[in-house]
């Protein structure tokens, strides 16, 4: 449904199809929309990379002309800022590190951060822009191609050195990125895992029943795990404790 809000419409388009969501861009008393091209003159670097960002899809349609105002959907209408020659705190909104500016359009992310296990963002110890550049290429998250995931791991690496350093015995799962096992915003499971127990590992390592003399044996990989499985979870039972990779053991026992 489309609604007019303070004289403008905000259309969010995605992959060619237009999703019609209505959000109110920040309000600046007496200012009107001027369009991305005007911002380009003074904020050239940000404007260049922005063209390739997912956020370049944001369009504010102001008036009948259908002129595009992506920058102003987050920063508010810029006419007074521009007329005054720009400047910090001058008739423009800087959302800074406040997640509320992002929740305006990404409401479901707030729900994720409210789950019991989450990155300490609601506590004010972290913010969205530490992981997502609102203007840059990095915000892109194309499905699971190797390169994109390498980027995702890099962003985790800035704070989690221990898990991301190279290991002599690498766990190939890491090549698919941290998010095959962790929900980056939050989860109901400890350590923000996508699954609570051995199911996490069994997503990729099938249990294969093999008939034996004393009934069915359960193999995982090349190994008979029948007895081990009774001990508990793959890592929590103390077996594959080095889930991220090991310097000493090929099967990540420590």
Tell me if 155 contacts ligand HEC by CB under 6 A.
yes
The dihedral formed by the CA atoms of 92, 93, 94 and 95, expressed in degrees to the nearest 10: -170
- Minimal distance in Å, beta carbon 54 to ligand HEC? 4
- Minimal distance in Å, beta carbon 59 to ligand HEC? 9
Q: Residue number with the shortest CB distance to ligand HEC?
A: 86
- Minimal distance in Å, beta carbon 170 to ligand HEC? 9
Tell me if 243 contacts ligand HEC by CB under 6 A.
yes
Tell me if 232 contacts ligand HEC by CB under 6 A.
no
Closest CB to ligand HEC among residues 101, 211: 101
Retrieve residue 3's tokens: 């609604």
CB 224 within 8 A of CB 217: yes
Tell me if 16 contacts ligand HEC by CB under 6 A.
no
- Minimal distance in Å, beta carbon 35 to ligand HEC? 7
Tell me if 138 contacts ligand HEC by CB under 6 A.
no
Tell me if 204 contacts ligand HEC by CB under 6 A.
yes
DSSP codes joined into one string, 100-153: HHHHTT-HHHHHHHTSSEE-STTTTS--GGGT--SSSGGG---TT-HHHHHHHH
Cα–Cα distance between 171 and 166 in angstroms, integer?
A: 10
Query: Which of 181, 186, 225, 246: binder of ligand HEC (CB under 6 A)?
Result: 181
Cα–Cα distance between 110 and 9 in angstroms, integer?
A: 24
Tell me if 27 contacts ligand HEC by CB under 6 A.
no
CB 218 within 8 A of CB 208: yes
Tell me if 96 contacts ligand HEC by CB under 6 A.
yes
Classify each residue of 172-204 as buried b or exposed e, where b means 16 or more C-beta atoms within 10 Å of its C-beta.
Answer: ebbeebbbebbbbbbbebeebbeeeebebbeee
Closest CB to ligand HEC among residues 209, 232: 232
Query: Which of 31, 102, 226, 245: binder of ligand HEC (CB under 6 A)?
Result: 102
Closest CB to ligand HEC among residues 89, 215: 89
3-state secondary structure of 245: strand
Query: Which of 30, 65, 120, 211: binder of ligand HEC (CB under 6 A)?
Result: 120
Q: Report CA-CA distances (Å) from 104 to 23, 95, 136.
A: 7, 11, 19
Retrieve residue 239's tokens: 């077996």
Count residues binding ligand HEC (CB under 6 A): 98
């Amino acid at each position: 449904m489309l609604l007019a809000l303070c004289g403008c419409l905000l259309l969010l388009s995605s992959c060619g199809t237009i999703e019609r969501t209505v959000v109110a861009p920040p309000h600046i008393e007496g200012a009107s929309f001027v369009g991305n091209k005007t911002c380009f003159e003074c904020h050239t670097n940000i404007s260049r990379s922005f063209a390739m960002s997912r956020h370049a899809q944001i369009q504010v349609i102001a008036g009948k002309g259908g002129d595009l105002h992506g920058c102003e959907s987050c920063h508010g209408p810029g006419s007074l800022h521009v007329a005054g020659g720009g400047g910090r705190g001058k008739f423009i909104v800087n959302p800074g590190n406040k997640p509320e500016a992002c929740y305006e359009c990404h409401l479901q992310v707030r729900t994720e951060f409210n789950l019991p296990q989450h990155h300490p963002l609601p506590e004010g110890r972290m913010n969205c822009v530490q992981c997502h550049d609102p203007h840059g290429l990095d915000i892109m998250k194309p499905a699971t191609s190797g390169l994109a995931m390498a980027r995702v791991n890099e962003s985790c690496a800035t704070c989690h050195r221990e898990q991301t350093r190279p290991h002599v015995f690498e766990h190939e799962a890491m090549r698919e990125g941290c998010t095959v096992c962790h929900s980056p915003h939050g989860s109901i499971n400890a350590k923000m895992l996508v699954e609570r127990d051995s199911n996490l590992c069994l997503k990729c390592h099938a249990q294969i029943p093999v008939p034996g003399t004393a009934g069915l044996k359960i193999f995982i990989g090349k190994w008979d795990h029948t007895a081990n499985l009774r001990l508990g979870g793959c890592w929590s039972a103390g077996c594959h404790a080095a889930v991220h990779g090991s310097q000493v053991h090929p099967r990540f026992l420590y």
